[in-house]
Amino acid sequence: MTRPVGVALLGAGTVGTGVLRILERHRERIAARAGGPLEVRRILVRSLDRHRPEVPASARLTTDSQAALDDPGVDLVVEVMGGEEPAQSLIRAALERGKHVVTANKSVLARAGGELLERYPQRLYFEASVAGGIPIIKPLQECLIANRLERVLGIVNGTTNYVLTRMDRAGLTFEQALAEAQAAGYAEADPTYDVDGLDAAHKLVILAMLAFEAPFGLDDVHVEGIGRVHPTDLAYAREFGYTVKLLAVARRHDAVELRVHPALVPRDHPLASVEGVTNAVFVEGDAVGPLMFYGAGAGSLPTASSVVADMVEAARRIRATGQEPNGRIFRDDRPPIRPPSEMVSRFYLRFRVVDRPGVLAEIAGAFGRHRVSIESMIQKGRGSEPVDLVFVTHPAREADLRLALDQIRGLDSVHDLASCMRVERGQEDA
Ligand SMILES: NC(=O)c1ccc[n+]([C@@H]2O[C@H](COP(=O)([O-])OP(=O)(O)OC[C@H]3O[C@@H](n4cnc5c(N)ncnc54)[C@H](OP(=O)(O)O)[C@@H]3O)[C@@H](O)[C@H]2O)c1
């Protein structure tokens, strides 16, 4: 009989338990596709006391990470414990020992992925690290290899997409929608990591490394969260024909732009229909055209679906010849990063102004002096004070927009700038 591929599973929480369930549920099919059985030999956890009905008879539970790595029968390490450390050290140790590693850990990949993928391009698998159950890593790494990719747009954080969907659909405030997400189990008690855009930034780094074949880091990403999005802005966005999404955007021309921020998306764009906790990644290739990958971005079985697929791929390679395939992920030349001040976008702007003749001309003048031209405008609330004056601009350099805004804020008739968001449209703006 073919020798089983020995597995050490680091973590048996939400994802790890899902992995064990799928391995049991599809044992024969998986063995057939992997060229022989997968045998989970060690499972690393923090506590041995908890009842864990999914643990198979072949596996030994342990709190000793070294014992899991030292087991000579372990060929494949599956890291689903999460967090920075000790996960990163364990992944490194396993790779250094020649083992194959599957991980769902976006933190480790966003911080150390550049180096790890340079050194171990053929033994590190991470389909579950971005958008949970959606296959996007392998498509970027392999299926789209014949394309030059100019732009990747992702809705890669379920919590913020749920909050924005509820604000849009039910007119809730940010605080109300977040409380609802927490009650439904879609948001953490401390939601900062999600609502401030950091989770999406980690995933964007991973997507960009594959799409543009170069190492990037979190410092390369411009990040804004959704905490300042107001239901009023969702209502104006609708009038202009848009909805608001927290987008992770990777774009390149001569330089690469990496940014996470709330953005107005046209209602007829495929990403506008991605609602609730669902995730999606929209990719444009020069050969294939636009593609959208859509589905469950988290959850035990969806995420485990990606992890197990990686395990099968790893098992095949382990069995193949013992020799790693060639092929690098990164090119030799890393493109420069464009600073936010040089980024060019359309902008949505909501001012609160005094309702008197000439205000519009004053604001339009300041825009004009700094080469910001206006595409459309809405004025609401005549008579009441202050009134909203809302603009969508044509593409403008952010540094120019900032200068115009400084001047506009100084006008007597302008109460404040209540909102400023980017507008992300089709390829014509890219
Ligand atoms: N949950 C999702 O939907 C999802 C989606 C995509 C990606 N991911 C990623 O998948 C990974 C796992 O997430 P999860 O939701 O499954 O986490 P989780 O439910 O908190 O489970 C973590 C598991 O790892 C074990 N563990 C954690 N730290 C440990 C340590 N220092 N030593 C030994 N064992 C340790 C825990 O042991 P105990 O059981 O003893 O506590 C637990 O079994 C994370 O990187 C996460 O970002 C998760």
DSSP state of 340: G
> Is residue 429 predicted with pLDDT exceeding 80?
no
Residue linked to tokens 């494949």: 76
The ligand 1 atom at the shortest distance from the C-alpha of residue 79 is: 11
Strands 374-380 and 76-79 turn out to be unpaired
Within the chain, what is the greatest distance between any pair of CA atoms?
87
Ligand 1 touching residue 18 (CB < 6 A): no
- Fold topology of 341-425: Alpha-Beta Plaits (3.30.70)
pLDDT, tens digit (0-9, with 9 covering 90-100), for 130-181: 999 999 999 999 999 999 999 999 999 999 999 999 999 999 999 999 999 9
First to last CA, the chain: 55
What residue ranges of the chain are covered by domains with CATH 3.30.70.260?
A: 341-425
Q: Name the residue of 9, 10, 14 to mutate for ligand 1: max ligand atoms within 8 A of Cβ.
A: 14
pLDDT, tens digit (0-9, with 9 covering 90-100), for 220-245: 999 999 999 999 999 999 999 999 99
- pLDDT in the model for residue 328: 86
d(CA 161, CA 88): 29
- Spot the catalytic one: 99, 138, 203, 380: 203
Q: 252 CA to middle of ligand 1, Å?
A: 34
Nearest of 140, 168, 144 to residue 154 by alpha carbon: 140
The CATH number of domain 5-133+298-320 is 3.40.50.720: yes
The whole-number average pLDDT for the span 92-98 is 96
Ligand 1 touching residue 45 (CB < 6 A): yes
Ligand 1 touching residue 91 (CB < 6 A): no
Q: 87 CA to middle of ligand 1, Å?
A: 10
Q: 143 CA to middle of ligand 1, Å?
A: 29
Close Cβ partners of 89 (under 8 Å, ≥ 6 residues apart): none
The answer to whether residue 203 is catalytic is yes
Ligand 1 touching residue 67 (CB < 6 A): no
Ligand 1 touching residue 44 (CB < 6 A): yes
Ligand 1 touching residue 158 (CB < 6 A): no
C-beta pairs of 316-325 under 8 Å, 24+ apart in sequence: 316/33, 316/34, 316/35, 317/100, 317/122, 317/123, 318/5, 318/75, 318/76, 318/100, 319/2, 319/5, 319/34, 319/35, 319/36, 324/122, 324/123, 325/122
Select the CATH number that applies to the domain covering 145-295 from these four: 3.30.500.10, 3.30.360.10, 3.30.420.340, 3.40.50.12780: 3.30.360.10
Residue linked to tokens 């968001």: 421
Work out the angle between the directed axes of helices 300-320 and 27-34 (0-180°, nearest 10): 40
Strands 38-44 and 124-125 turn out to be unpaired
pLDDT, tens digit (0-9, with 9 covering 90-100), for 7-33: 999 999 999 999 999 999 999 999 999
Rg (C-alpha) for the chain, rounded Å, is 24
Instruction: Indicate the helix (H) or strand (E) that contains 294.
Output: strand 289-295
Q: Name the residue of 17, 21, 45 to mutate for ligand 1: max ligand atoms within 8 A of Cβ.
A: 45
Nearest of 194, 169, 203, 166 to residue 280 by alpha carbon: 203
The residue contributing the CA closest to ligand 1 atom 26 is 81
